[in-house]
Structure 1
Amino acid sequence: MGTLNMLGLAKRIGARFLLTSTSEVYGDPLEHPQKETYWGNVNPIGVRSCYDEGKRTAETLAMDYHRGADVEVRIARIFNTYGPRMCIDDGRVVSNFVAQAIRKEPLTVYGDGKQTRSFQYVSDLVSGLIMLMESEHVGPFNLGNPGEFTMLELAEVVKETVDPSATIEFRSNTADDPHMRKPDITKAKDLLNWEPKISLREGLPLMVSDFRKRVLNDGNNSG
């Protein structure tokens, strides 16, 4: 409904509209890496489907307004992003691992830890969104870092960065958890001249120093 309202506003005032869609539109992909032409493999009645299908519907609305009412839309499909100022307890895997390591808690890995994700640093995403909004291309564009890590590999990088003595605890996996996630960013490279510049090993310490300040302050305040 929010997307519909904002598209109506963009139509009335002649604004350019940015839809921040998601790699979740690909569901549990049967194509790897994922290109923008891939239609996805989404379970419409799964536990995650309100998010997946909500974003897919938002893309549909944006394209209908673009075709039917000449609204200038830009669609970005954002892959996992991390960095300073994230909510510490937002449930995302990078913030979970970093907060757990700082708090001296075990890092919780769901399933066998072999599922993969790609992680882009926030400043790379912001530059991609600006390039997209300043371009004449509608999209959709994958905006993500093609560097692919299993959850176990990510846990190891977090351990190296925060606390090498941290332990890993396995838990049963959540339903409909995608097995693989990696963007094909050829289209963004060719049409927007964009690609991410910051690797996980470069970006993670910047996030960790921010988290460390906030987590340890919370601990001091609550004590």
Structure 2
Amino acid sequence: FSPGDVVVFSCDDGFELIGERNATCREANNSGAYYWSNPAPVCQPVVVDTCPALPDVVNAERTGNGTAVGGVVLYQCEPGFTMTGASSLTCLAGVPPSWDNSPPNCTATCPVEEQRAAGSGVILSPGYPEQYGTDQDCVWVIRGCGGPVTLSFRSFQTEDGYDFLNVYDGSLDTAAVEYSGQPDLKNYTSTTSVLYLQFTSDGSVTDSGFWIDYSSACCSDPGAPLNGNRAGD
């Protein structure tokens, strides 16, 4: 290095610089001896005690106690959506700290025969609010509390005459109430405590599908807290 040359120091990702970032080559009092204006700094590991912030998950709610090591974050899909992945994420110690799982996905699926508990909930066409796919055959079974079940149609749009939602009162052997296209969206109330909903689509045109709320005269299972208990069953 020649007198007047300047060097600039930097640290790799994950390290912080302790000392001066620049040093200049200088001559000491015209003595012919040369020195650097500053010594080389030290790169120390950055001490991080938190995990990266987690993203929001579409169609899900997030609860938890932050991003500190040991913290737990819970995801719960909104009614009508099914979770793929882990519902609970824990921040683990490390360099740097990291989450033990990736955030889940919440999507509206096409079940073979999905059992729905008593109380209230939502039935969504596959992929909602996007268009459903072709060649769908989905079945939902809603079991009330010994009394009738009521369906309320928030939205409904299928390929008229080709894609159908059939509602069966009591069993799949009964005559179905058929919905297709843009039907008159009046509430439907069963005469039994069980409803079967079957959605089928053909192999060509698709549409926006449906959002249906259902209710019966009781509360659904409230769940139990993580690392806790529930009494009163």
TM-score range normalised by the length of the shorter chain: under 0.3
Between Structure 1 and Structure 2, the one with more strand by share is 2
TM-score w.r.t. structure 1 length?
Answer: 0.23
Larger-Rg structure: 2
Between Structure 1 and Structure 2, the one with more helix by share is 1
Q: With CA pairs under 8 Å and 6+ residues apart, which has the higher RCO, 1 or 2?
A: 1
